[in-house]
Structures are given as structure tokens and as C-alpha cells.
Amino acid sequence: MATVAAPIDATSTAAWKALEAHQEKLEADGIDLKAWFAADADRVNKLSFDAGDLHFDLSKNLVTDETVKLLCDLAREVKLEERRNAMFSGEHINTTEDRAVLHTALRRPVTEKGQLIVDGQDVVADVHEVLDRMYAFAERVRSGEWKGVTGKKIEHLVSIGIGGSDLGPVMAYEALRPYADAGIDCRYISNIDPNDQAEKLKGLDPETTLVIIVSKTFTTLETLTNAREVKTWMLEQLKAQGAIDGSDEKNAEAIKKHFVAVSTNLEKVAEFGIDPNNAFGFWNWVGGRYSVDSAVGTSLAVVFGPARFEEFLHGFHEIDEYFANTPFEKNVVVLLGMLNVWYRNFFKVASHAVLPYDQYLHRFPAYLQQLTMESNGKSVRWDGTPVTSETGEIFWGEPGTNGQHAFYQLIHQGTRMVPADFIAFANPTWALGDGDADMHELFLSNFFAQTKALAFGKTSEEVRAEGTPEAIVSARVFTGNRPTTSIMAPSLTPSVLGQLIALYEHITFVEGTVWGLDSYDQWGVELGKQLAKQITPAISQDDDALAAQDASTQSLIKFYRANREF
């Protein structure tokens, strides 16, 4: 285990105790956003921030000036600044794996070569060597110089990965679809469920399809299983179409022209049949859920082009620099992370909603689920000792306005507080009208209305004034004081998407620091994978393996055996 100073127990700090007393007083006095706004004409101004192209309004959160001060005090007492600096400089803060945490290096500009030497490596130079190769490859595919085995231009990508090798690229691909300008689309296969692969391959012409296999070790069970099956599909379809004769020589040629890899295991890549020159690596100092801006995003560079990918990276870097250099009281990234701690630990809130008012961000909440919950869903601190407080919010969400017709009922009137981030853009990608009405303005009227309703609610007097029968007045009351953060930007661009991702990466880091967590390992995913390997023989008629299982697992496998049709 890496030698890093033990985490500070946040619950033992003076700031934590002061926050407990402060929260109790707020509750006793009565939390009342409507009154707080009325009493402080400068509240919105004090709690509005700009970082990069992002604009933030934190004024509808359950905080006062004193809350913000105490949260910043807590950040200092747990030495957030020191840990932030340690991360940026390449110290091995991932203690259980003895690794640096350098996803921020993935977007440092080429002009910073030689400025970050970690474990004897010029990290920025290494990053740009891979980026240059990735961009050259992307241009070859986009221009048509790279051709399939029959000489046809590539029109379809199939990217095979799982976890961080899939969720990030899928989310970014969906978010930036309007920027696809080379006549190339991408389909992503992740699930080992055969249905995923079957649906994604439907309608594809193998002669114009290029497959990207994303696996750092080239040993990931789900990814390699899917990759082998896609290789079989590719060769069988090419033979059926008369593109190859099925000989070993032609099969090998087809694999080299229709498969590339994102991996550092060049030996395994070559064994699969891929030319190692067409493998793009990344490093053990970047975890999968932090890797979309590495070679893991090769599909994005091909579909959108290197220039757009560079804009994407610039957006990340802009927020990195802001986070690294802005004083805590003015640092909205720090404040958002500390607000999450405020709700999780002092209000005992378990979940956090992310509600993008842009359909192109429909996969953003799913991406954040891995980023946040795999990072901070832990009960042991980075020195191996038990945590001393609640950790890990449950992140979830859906695009507006769909969510309004699904779960907003609970957010508005349920018994659980659900802090929510609302995300919207001033300019739509497609400007449409419904008669004289601007559809985007109709859409954003919901964005503005929801945060207003959640903050200020509706009193029984207001309900009665509308002529509501007394018997149902209580059902139509909205208590308000439901916290939200509003995040806006001019448009959803590659740069803005990078800014949003970096924002939540660093929010996750802030929370993890307060809780004393190593936010960059993920041992919780291992046990299930180990047991799956043990259970597989029991499923396929090995009675001895079945007998070794617990009674519940045996019963479920017996049901499977009795009902499986071959």
C-alpha cells in the first residue's frame, strides 16, 4: 500500500461539530428559502458563480452565509487543498493499488511537456504521443484512406468495452451527435447478454464496419467474450458476401483491416489478430471511469474528428485549472462537493438527482452513476480503517421533461429530501417552433419552473385562494425548501461537455476527501466476478459444482436448468 498520510477524521474536527450545531439551529428556527430570499437581496449574486462556460446558481440550496463559511472550514480541516495538490502532482493517492491519480494529465496541453514527471515518466509527453497516433488514425478513417478488406470506406464503428470503457464514450457520443460530420456512426456493445450484441449488429455491412476493442489488459471477460463473437460474425458475414474466401490468410487480413484495440497488452492484441501498431494505450494512473478523454475515446475522435476532441479536452482542462487555482469560498466545484457532504451527512440524505434539460444528455446520469458510486460507495478509508460517517450518495436521473411525468412527484411532495442538479442550455441544437411558440422556450420554462416550485412551494392559503375544495387542499400543498442547483451554459458543445464531466469528477474527489476514501479503486466489483467464475460450471450441468452452492443459488440454477431450451 502506498505511503500516504492517514485521512483526517472529519467528524472529529471543529468545523464538523460547528456544522452539526448550525444544522440543528436551522431546523429549530425553521428552514425557509422564501424568507431567506426576502431577507437578503444579494443572495442570488453571492451564490452565483461562473467557471468556464458554465453558470451556476446555488441560491436555492439550504445554506446561509454561515453554512458556506463552515463548509469551507471543514474542507480546510480535512486538508482538501493538500490532497488536491497531491493528486495534480502525481503522488500515489490511490493507496490500495499504489498508483498516481492523473486523469487531469490526459487534458494538459502539449506546451506542458516536461512539467509533470511521475515515476520517471514525462506524463504529458506520453499522453500526447498517444493522442497524436490516435488523431492520425482517426483522420485516416474519416478521410477514407483506411479501407476495409474490399476497399470500401468505413461507415460504421462498433466499440466493445464495459464499465468506464463504455459508459463514458456512449454518453459523449450521444451528447455530441450533432457534431458527427464524417458520415460515420458508432454502436457500443458492453453487456455480455447476447441480446446486446445481436441488436447492435443488426443491419451492419461488415465491409464498411470497423471494430474497436477497448480493454486495458485485453483480458476483461465481458469485453473479450463479445470481441470473439463479433470477430466470428465479421468473418462469417464477409465470407457469405464473397468478400473473403475463409482461408486463414484472408481471415487474418480481414481482422487487421476491421479491428483495432485500445489496450496496453500488445501480446494479447497480436494473439487476437490485431496489428499492434493499431493499438492505442493508456496508463494505470487513469481509472476506467475517468478515462473517456484518453484513448478510450478513440471512437469519439473518429466520429467527431480530432479538432472536436481537442475542444473536448480543453473543456476538461479549463475546469481543472479553475478547481486547482480558485479560493474555496469562490470555488463552485469545491462548494458543490461540500454541499453534497452537507446534505449526505447533516441531513442524512441518501440520493442525488441529476436532471439534464437536454435530450442529448440522456446518458449523462448513467455515466455519473459509475463515476460517483464506484468512486465513493465505500465503507473503508484509504488507510484501511472504517469510515466514520455516511458516504456515497445514490446518483440517478432522467432528462426533463420526461422525469416530470415520472418521479418529480416524489421530489416535490415525498417524505425524502432529494437534492437535484438541473442542467440546461440557452441555445438549442435544433431551433423548432410550434406555431408562434419557440419550443426551446417552452422547454426551458419547465426548467425554470421546477426549481422555483421546489424552492418556494405553495401554501395552503394559496391553494384555497384558487377555489380548491377544502377536502383536497392538503394534497395540493407544496412545502418547498427542496434544494436544487441550476447549471447553465450557452450551448452543449464538446468543450462544455468536457467541463461538465470534469466538474463532477472533482465534486467526487472533494466528497471522497472529506470521507477519507480512496475514490480511485473499486474492489467492490470483484467478489461477484470471482463467484461468477465458480458458478459457471454449476449452470452447465456440473452437479458437483452445483452441490457446492448455497441452497438459494442451487434452487435458482435448478429452475434455470429446468426451463432452458436449446
One DSSP character per residue, 44-72 reads: HHHTEEEETTEEEE-TTSS--HHHHHHHH
Q: What is the mean pLDDT of residues 549-557?
A: 96
Distance CA(513)–CA(165), nearest Å, equals 25
405 in catalytic set: yes
pLDDT at res. 432 = 86
Residues 213-247: pLDDT tens digits? 999 889 999 999 999 999 999 999 999 999 999 99
Helix (H) or strand (E) holding 338, with range, is helix 332-341
Residues 389-424: pLDDT tens digits? 999 999 999 999 999 999 999 999 999 999 999 999
- pLDDT tier at 541 (50, 70, 90 boundaries)? confident
Residues 495-512: pLDDT tens digits? 999 999 999 999 999 999
Residues 139-168: pLDDT tens digits? 999 999 999 999 999 999 999 999 999 999
pLDDT at res. 340 = 98
Q: What is the mean pLDDT of residues 251-278?
A: 96
From 317, 284, 319, 280, select the one nearest 300 (Cα to Cα).
280
Cα→Cα distances 544→286, 366, 529, 541, Å: 41, 39, 20, 9
Mapped onto helix, strand or coil, the DSSP state of residue 286 is coil
Residues 462-497: pLDDT tens digits? 999 999 999 999 999 999 999 999 999 999 999 999
From 269, 415, 279, select the one nearest 350 (Cα to Cα).
415
Distance CA(366)–CA(241), nearest Å, equals 38
From 166, 167, 159, select the one nearest 366 (Cα to Cα).
167
Cα→Cα distances 45→42, 49, 69, 349, Å: 5, 8, 16, 27
pLDDT at res. 529 = 87
CB 450 within 8 A of CB 422: yes
Residues 383-396: pLDDT tens digits? 999 999 999 999 99
C-alpha cell at 294: 484518453
- Beta carbons within 8 Å of 440's beta carbon, 6+ residues apart: 427, 428, 431, 432
91 in catalytic set: no
Amino acid at position 443, single letter: F
From 376, 213, 175, 354, select the one nearest 287 (Cα to Cα).
376
pLDDT at res. 224 = 96
Task: Write the DSSP symbol of residue 342.
Answer: I
Q: What is the mean pLDDT of residues 92-116?
A: 97
Q: Can you give the length of the chain in residues?
A: 566
Q: Considering only 124-138, 290-304, 335-349, 530-544, which range has the smallest mean pLDDT?
A: 530-544
pLDDT at res. 359 = 97
From 390, 394, 379, select the one nearest 524 (Cα to Cα).
379
Q: Per the residue annotation, which of 405, 441, 452, 558 is the catalytic one?
A: 405
DSSP 468-534: --GGGTGGG-B-----EEEEEESS--HHHHHHHHHHHHHHHHHHHHHHT--TT--GGGHHHHHHHHH
Q: Per the residue annotation, which of 17, 46, 348, 529 is the catalytic one?
A: 529
- Residues of the chain by 3-state class (helix, strand, coil), percent to 5: 55, 10, 35
CB 350 within 8 A of CB 161: no
pLDDT at res. 2 = 58
Q: What is the mean pLDDT of residues 170-199?
A: 97
* Residue-averaged pLDDT of the chain: 96
pLDDT at res. 536 = 94
374 in catalytic set: yes
Beta-strand runs (E) in 161-309: 185-189, 209-214, 259-262
Q: Per the residue annotation, which of 374, 393, 505, 511 is the catalytic one?
A: 374
Distance CA(103)–CA(116), nearest Å, equals 13
